[in-house]
Amino acid sequence: MTERIISAGHKWSMLCVAYYKRLLQSKLGVDARLRLLEELNEMSDLHFTPKMLAAIQPMSDVELDIVHEAMALDGDERCDASFKVLTSRRVFAIFQQLNPSYSAALGH
């Protein structure tokens, strides 16, 4: 079986979608909720389709912990370090095991 090649940018988008969906489950004000929904709406493109976006489930507690640990690597920089870690083949494979909806989204 051949592994589908996924760009780092699309991996990042998938993780952001799951993160945003997790945030939407928390108590947010109307403005914050609307802002997140607008962000989600703008994330799809020709390769990252609305069906893919819809297929992704919210992050679990474990996924959230991994993201927060990776973000701690960034310090005062942009998110270059966490981006490299989270979108690496090895780490993204862990996310796919923890949240099968990433793989399901890739099937769309």
42-61 pLDDT, tens digit per residue, is 998 888 889 999 999 999 99
Q: Is residue 81 part of a domain?
A: yes
Neighbours of 3 (CB within 10 A): 7
Residue 47: per-residue pLDDT: 81
Q: How far apart are CA 39 and CA 37, in angstroms?
A: 5
Domain with 29 in it: 8-106
Percent of the chain at pLDDT > 70 equals: 94
Query: What is the tens place of the pLDDT at every residue in 80-103?
Result: 899 999 999 999 999 999 999 999
Count of domains for the chain: 1
pLDDT of residue 20: 95
- How would residue 75 be classed by pLDDT, with cut points 50, 70 and 90? confident
C-alpha dist (Å) from residue 61 to 2, 6, 53, 65: 30, 24, 20, 6
How far apart (Å, rounded) are the C-alpha atoms in residues 24 and 34? Answer: 10
Token duo for residue 99 = 């949240």
The reply to whether 2 falls in a domain is no
Instruction: Say how far apart CA 15 and CA 3 lie, in whole Å.
Output: 19
